[in-house]
Structure 1
């Protein structure tokens, strides 16, 4: 089982370059960054983590760095760790632009990028981007399909419900199609993983199921993947150090410890040191 870090990287906390170096120096295998382009000042959508309105969201939601820009800086100043998003809200970006950003980070990192994706939860945020909050999944999956075409074809074109473009030239291409990790915990998420992705990012920090129940779903995922002649991986967002043995038994391939948004670099580094105590 691999060990990594996920965090809301903010403008008031530790910077991208020192964080990336610290994660690599301590022996973690990966660093994943979250994304929110903005947070609407007026919000009716409940926070999935449980805070009812009108309670405001934690500060870090509206202060996150752009993950692609931050990951490019980290990629240029690290050597071996996997870098990724957990998750990119792909339906809030035009796929031509996002495909180039992903390919650029992958090129800079030498093929170390993994693309964690999700539809998002904040309806007001989606509306600001022209996304119908009733159909975020359909748009997300179409954007992924359009980006795959751009990454793999010299003269791609795409004609869908949400994305439409005639043949284009777009380089750089990524070193390989970045592994696409589908986030979510709903009843159909395994269908999306098998149909559109290479791995699954469950979010049990929302206490929607037990580790034992997670293991049952992982066994179902792996069985279905094997029947289709495929391999899939499972990356757990927000791991609890005390449950590492249970996670490994459940079949999880990688755990991500969530680094809080400390306002001083020293506190962030001390927290990394605490997580590093659990490395094998």
Structure 2
């Protein structure tokens, strides 16, 4: 079992360099950053976490810029997005950003992806919420083409470009971890992903989660693929053994939102102690 940290890196909280160094020094294996380009003032979409949207959602750093800084001051930990809203990027820009961070980190980048919940936010990017999943999958395919081909091209419904040159190429093809918990997510993981990153599996949901992990691995085997790793975003540090029994490979513990860097470091100390 691998343990990592996930967080909304904000302009009022702990800084990127201090956090990255602290995560690596305490023995964690990974650090994942959330993404929101903005939050519309006139938002109508309900936040899945409750009635009030936390302040942090409107204050996040661009994850790729922050992860580039983190790559420069770490040597071991995996660095990733948890999750990137890929429909809010042109795939040529996204492929360049991902490849750049992967090169800066010497192949330690992982691209966690999701379609998002904020309909107003995605509408500002011209995304049709009814077609957001299909659009995301095309963008993933287009990025892979750019990462792996010297003269990459892609022709789809949502993404269309003639042959292009785009360097740097990543050190490795970055693993794509597909987020979501809907009825079809496992098929998307098998067809388009390199792993599954479900959000906040509570202890009361672990039996259902274990069943779904088994189903994922059966589908992967039927498709001629090996075991697909499962990363739980926002896992409870008090249920480590139960997650392992359910088939999780990595747990990401969410840092509590605070404007005091000392509190964040103290929380990292406590999490590190719980996982030893």
TM range (shorter): over 0.9
Q: Which runs of 5+ in 2 are unaligned?
A: none
The question of whether the paired residues in 2 share the 8 Å contact of 1:8 and 1:260 is answered with: no
Q: CA RMSD in A?
A: 1.2
For the pair 1:182 / 2:141, whether they are aligned, the reply is no
Q: Does 1:258 align with 2:251?
A: no
- Corresponding residue for residue 11 of structure 2: 11
Q: Check 1:209–1:189 CA distance in 2 against 1; reply closer, same or farther (3 A cut).
A: farther
Q: TM-score, normalised by structure 2?
A: 0.97
> Partner residue of 1:173?
169
1:137-152 superposed matches below 5 A: 137-152=133-148
Question: Which of residues 69, 88, 91 in structure 1 aligns to 2:84?
Answer: 88
What is the TM-score when the length of structure 1 is the normalising length? Answer: 0.96
Give the C-alpha shift of residue 209 in structure 1.
Answer: 6.5
Say yes or no: does 1:246 pair with 2:242. Answer: yes
User: What count of residue pairs does the alignment treat as equivalent?
Assistant: 275
Shift of 1:208: 11
Q: Deviations over 1:95-152 (max 9, x none)?
A: 0001000000000000000100000110000000010111111110010011011111
1:213 aligned partner: 208
More off after superposition, 34-43 vs 217-226: 217-226
| 1:224 aligned partner | 219
Mapped partners of 1:148, 1:180: distance in 2: 10
1:112 aligns with 2:92: no
Among 135, 138, 153, the residue aligned to 2:131: 135
Deviations 1:19-67 (A, max 9, x none): 000000000000000000000001111111132xxx4x10000000000
Partner of residue 42, structure 2: 42
SS at match of 1:182: strand
Distance 2:112 2:224 in 1: 22
The 1:141–1:209 alpha-carbon spacing in structure 2 relative to 1, beyond 3 Å, is farther
Task: Tell me how far apart the structure 1 counterparts of residues 70 and 187 of structure 2 sit (CA, whole Å).
Answer: 33
Name structure 1 gaps, 5 residues minimum.
Answer: none
